Amino acid sequence: MENLDVMVLRTLRDWRLAGRRALLTTVVRTWGSSPRPVGSIMALAEDGAVVGSVSGGCIEDDLIARYSRLHGATEPMPAGGAPALVKYGITADEAHRFGLPCGGTLELLLEYDPEPSSLGALVASLEQGRLMQRTVSLPDGRVMLAEASSPAALSVDDSRLTNTFGPEYRMLLIGAGQLAEYLATMAKFSGFAVTLCDPRVEYRSAWAVPGVTVTTEMPDDAVIAFRPDRRSCVVALTHDPKLDDLALLEALATDAFYVGAIGSRRNAEARRERMVEHFDQTAESLARLRGPIGIYIGSKTPPEIAVSVMAEILAVKNAVALPRESGVANAKSLQEELG
């Protein structure tokens, strides 16, 4: 599955190019608990078609009922012009009606009939791997696009809203095989673009996951070509130091948010010792290297191991601090201590 924001914007662009009326909805503010974070977007066409989400579903249903012909619109969709700010969940009754958590309130910006040319320029930039800033003038709905230098949270004041859209998250897997197939599948439906590197034809020939870019380069060269950034992760799965080690070292020199390798505690320690002895690494330079990778869930099979690894990657991506005991190495060591 591709990046959800890109999917929403591309679909909205296509609707508008086809002459369909539509609105773009953005979560602008939240108070208390909310189903979707600030910056989430959803597109709604006049016939009731929806892509994306701003809640668990009830708010989407209300917007469809208010603005689409499918349900007999109670409020005709305005034609372009100034966007509108609406709040849901202001009272306890409304929060209950719209399925918001206790105390939850969210504010939405509704943009009517966004310009297809501007949407097309934004989608094209995102597809080219650019980080883009989209600014909406609240008095008149005018949109300005600019390339951004770094990710930023949505910002809004009385005159404008600025939302940053980044290219999709990317994953580079070193080594084909059953575990890589499960991990690639999970990464794809989590919104990652996946690249697989394996120079070994006997492993690569059995690869069966569609939609994954496959390269036959040596892994360290593949990392260089991949150009990991802050929205990238690199995962080594071959168990072969000749393939994994140099790739990991290249990845550690980048801004990749996650760099790790599969293997036992003994293998992970041996890898670190090799890197210190033969590649002039230090404990500090290897601090970002994860291994054994994954969250400890007692996994034994490839699909369960993939769940464990993907959970850890998503936690790091989302800046969630995991308890020390959740790591595979620490959890196993604790189990041994407890007998």
pLDDT digits (tens, 9 = 90+) for 42-53: 999 999 999 998
The pLDDT, as a whole number, for residue 35 is 63
Tell me what pLDDT residue 336 has.
66
pLDDT means per 10 residues, the chain with 339 residues, are 80 96 93 74 93 81 81 71 84 56 76 96 88 95 92 90 88 96 94 93 89 94 94 94 95 96 93 94 94 90 96 93 78 69
pLDDT number for residue 153: 86
Q: Looking at residue 1, what is its pLDDT?
A: 46
Give the separation between CA 235 and CA 248, rounded to whole angstroms.
Answer: 8
The total of other beta-carbon atoms located within 10 Å of residue 65's CB is 15
Q: Please report, as a single letter, which amino acid is at residue 2.
A: E
- Mapped onto helix, strand or coil, the DSSP state of residue 50 is strand
Give the span between the Cα atoms of 298 and 314, in whole angstroms. 19
Predicted pLDDT at 53? 87
Neighbours of 221 (CB within 10 A): 15
The number of helices, as runs of H, and strands, as runs of E, in the chain is: 11, 15
Q: Quick check: 259 and 248 in contact, CB under 8 A?
A: yes
Amino acid at 318: N
Q: What is the pLDDT of residue 324?
A: 79
Six-digit token pair at 174?
Answer: 């070193």
- Separation between Cα atoms, residue 274 and residue 281, nearest integer Å: 9
Of 131, 114, 154, 163, residue with least CA distance to 10: 114
The position carrying tokens 């034809």 is 201
Q: Would you give the end-to-end CA distance of the chain in angstroms?
A: 43
Domain boundaries, the chain: 4-165, 169-338
H or E segment to which residue 136 belongs = strand 132-137
Q: Pairing between strand 232-236 and 169-174?
A: parallel
pLDDT at residue 4, as a whole number? 82
DSSP string, 315-338: HHHTT----GGGBHHHHHHHHHHH
Q: What is the pLDDT of residue 88?
A: 84
Note the pLDDT of residue 201. Answer: 92
| SS3 per-residue string spanning 133-194 | EEEEECCCCCEEEEECCCCCCCEECCCEEEEEECCCEEEEEECCCHHHHHHHHHHHHCCEEE
Label the pairing between strands 132-137 and 105-112: unpaired
Q: 169-338: which CATH architecture? A: 3-Layer(aba) Sandwich (3.40)
CB 177 within 8 A of CB 203: yes
pTM over 0.95: no
